[in-house]
Structure 1
Amino acid sequence: MIQQNSRRAGFTLVELLVVIAIIGVLVGLLLPAVQAAREAARRMSCSNNFKQLGLAMHNYHAAYNKLPLLGTGTHPPTGTNTWSGLTNSSNMRLSALVGMLPFMEQQALWQQISNPLLLRTDGSTTNNPGGTVPWPAMGPTPQNIQYPPWATEVAAFRCPSDPGKGLPALGRTNYVSCTGDSAINNRDGYLNVRAGTQVPYVASTGTANTASASMRGAFVMRKQTGFRDILDGTANTIAMGEIATDLGDKDVRTIGGRLAGNNNTAPFFNDPLYCRNTVPGIDPERPMFWGVPTNGSADGRGFRWADAVPLFGQCTTIRPPNKELCGMSGSDRNLSATMSSRHQGGVHVVMADGAVKFITDSIESGNQSVGNVRSGQTGVRAPGAPSPYGLWGALGTRASREVLTDGF
């Protein structure tokens, strides 16, 4: 007679703990790969967004034989400061993204902007304008949160890797226009909007000369450009660049530090490393963050997709990607504002021919101790001279006759 064992087969506690430990180790090994795969997907989505912007830019050019204007919109009834907040006009402060809306499946938003609008973000019917008095066609200036289009977040303008959202930003953007390798007078640009009561406004000779000499990119503030102006070749010229939006954490890439002397006299004209080397300035123990007070909470990078001023609507090719902002505030006319991103190791750009490229942080950027090109200078800083900032600077200029022999 065979006697059966009454004990039931199973795992011991030690065996179960070993299995759990092995599973934990495998999950720990797998998690970085999963995170990397997710970031790769987000980076691809960001690249696709930029590709759509490149197509919209080309479709706009095909329709009008020119690029969308940076610094577009309506004139106020009388001359005023560029930085003035207005409800009766956009004060020629609108970014190139506004004009591209109809060419990227945003016709509904464009219809709201291009026509008088009787809506307010807070829903009020008593506060004006937008209550019982409509907002003007092309809207007010872009800091007006009660104008619904300016507070609208457009998915095509956002990089999925960027976690920024909510106030104090309005509608955020991660994509801005490239104005070249100089930070001089990029807010006022070619057209002087403070010319008394003249409408339309007329640029002074000094303003026009300064803008023509320093704004060497595909886009020039308040001056129409087209592909025919890009003499270096559309495949060799950056049209738009990626920026990270501010998270309120004093990141040197997304908000300016309040440094002594860093105002409209702009010491970084002559020394692009001014903000990097000024002490106190950047926190030496946390070199990606400021160790001094920063600009106002509303002066974060990428906070207004509809605003053309340097902080919100422009980028330059002076400092390499993911380096510090150097300027005074959101309304500053001068800002060294390089590109930045939440991707590892670089940023996306869209070239003037519509191609999307990924530029690494280590791109060759020339002599960072040489001052910006500007009117009245000679030698390497003379108007029309090749960019002093190497391959990076050359990619930002449209007509400096640089020949690019290396890939990037």
Structure 2
Amino acid sequence: MLLDQMLPTVRPRRSLRPWRQFRPRCVGAFTVLELLVAIGVVGVLVSLLLPAVMHARESGRKTICSNQLHQIGLAMHQHHNWRERLPPAWRVATDRPEFAYGWAAFLLPGMEEASVMPRLDFNQAPNAAGVGDLGLALMNCPSDLIEPSFDLYESTPEPEEEEDSSEGSKDDRMGEVLIRLPTASYVGVYGTVEADEYYTELREGTPERSDGAIVFDRVVRFADLTRGLSKTLLVGERTMATVPSTWLGVDLRGEDAECRLTGSAMTHPNCDTCDECEFTSRHAGGSYFLWADGHVSLVAETIDPNAYRELARRSAP
């Protein structure tokens, strides 16, 4: 008895919270309905925000395009101050008459691209192996899907209508590659006639005279723009989707060679029926143009064709 009192009483161990042993476990989760609602809300937000983001990005690209044309305009005025004339649409190399340098090649110092000049000899055609990499960021619209260079093929006669199309595809009739050229988005305003018809008409007799500001067959000064500098177009856009253009120059034996350097205003910008010599862009609503006074603006697709042609002429007809 005394011994039992001296020893501690050992009691069975019990859980302090026995109710936890029987409490069911609760796992947090979404129901299928909640998940579908969340996905729907996210989809609606994306559909609302994506157009706004795309619009903001295109707005930024338009600003860059406009600024690039403005810089080309400054170079154009600088050239006029030095040479007392606007640059020719193209100039034939003295010792290589089949090659012609484009108008933008004469603006390189004013476009802060003087480092390219040592690679060009205006008496000779450029080295065919090295001209394809002479791309200028200033000459490429950020909205256009630009390939850095393109192959200029030799012009071949159009097949006669009665000729069976099974005799050969367009690729089979394509001439040899003459030269690989750097791509550009901006071409000079030749007027309302197509530049690529000049040499064809010259061989046949008297070619149609150009009526724009950036031309080959005459010297044009600002004083010759009698309709006013603020009412005369100098340079406009052309997307690569129409035909690849270049700033450097062309082999005059190439397909649509002169139109790779210049453009003509015949209908309206971005028209569905525009051919390779007209002005086009990937901007919604129209194309950007540099005017002779140096300002840049978007010429709308809805412009009256007669008014459009008037703006492309250096003087009243």
**Is TM > 0.5 for Structure 1 vs Structure 2?**
yes
Aligned to 2:287: 347
Task: Provide the secondary structure at the position in 2 that maps to 1:98.
Answer: helix
Deviation at 1:70, TM superposition (A): 1.8
> Which deviates more from structure 2 when the two are superposed, residues 231-240 or residues 11-20?
11-20
Residue of structure 1 equivalent to 2:192: 181
1:36 CA displacement: 1.6
The alpha carbon displacement at 1:221 in A equals 1.1
Note if 1:171 corresponds to 2:114: no
Which of the residues 270, 273, 276 maps onto 1:322? Answer: 270
Distance apart, 1:304 and its partner CA: 6.0
Are 1:156 and 2:138 an aligned pair?
A: yes
Change (3 A) 1:399 1:96: same
**Contact 1:179–1:316 under 8 Å retained in 2:** yes
Change (3 A) 1:351 1:94: same
| 1:66 CA displacement | 1.1
Give the match's secondary structure for 2:101.
coil
Residue 105 of structure 2 aligns to a residue in which SS?
Answer: helix
Name the larger-Rg structure: 2
Q: Answer yes or no: is the 8 Å Cα contact 2:185–2:237 preserved in 1.
A: yes
Give me the whole-angstrom Cα distance separating, in 1, the residues matched to 2:72 and 2:85.
15
The aligned amino acid for 2:234 is A
Native 8 Å contact 1:181 1:215 kept in 2: yes
Q: Percent identity?
A: 28
Structure 1's consecutive aligned runs of 4 or more residues displaced over 4 angstroms after TM superposition are: 3-6
CA contact (8 A) 1:66 1:227 kept: yes
Give the whole-Å Cα distance in 1 for the aligned partners of 2:90 and 2:193.
Answer: 17
Against the structure 1 CA distance between its residues 69 and 343, is the aligned structure 2 distance closer, same or farther, given a 3 Å change threshold? same
Shift in CA distance, 305/60, structure 1 to aligned 2, threshold 3 Å: same
Hey, what's the Cα distance between the residues in 2 that align with 1:59 and 1:240? 15
The one-letter amino acid paired with 1:154 is: L
Decide which of 288, 312, 316 is 1:396's aligned counterpart. 312
Instruction: Structure 1: state its 5+ residue gaps.
Output: 77-88, 115-136, 195-203, 247-253, 255-299, 327-335, 366-389, 402-408
Q: Unaligned regions of 5+ residues in structure 2, if any?
A: 1-16, 152-180
Shift of 1:227: 0.5
CA distance in 2 between counterparts of 1:184 and 1:305 reads 16
Is 1:140 equivalent to 2:125 in the alignment? yes
Give the aligned partner of residue 97 of structure 1: 104
What is the RMSD computed on CA atoms of the aligned residues?
2.9
**Count of residues in Structure 1 that have an aligned counterpart in Structure 2:** 262
Give the letter aligned to residue 301 of structure 1. P
TM-score (normalizing by structure 2): 0.73
State the SS of the aligned residue for 1:179.
strand
| Offset, 1:113 | 0.8
Alignment check: 8 A CA contact 1:186 1:215 kept:
no
The secondary structure found in structure 2 opposite 1:94 is strand
8 Å contact kept, 1:301–1:311: no
Say if 2:299 is the partner of 1:359: yes
1:338 aligns with 2:278: yes
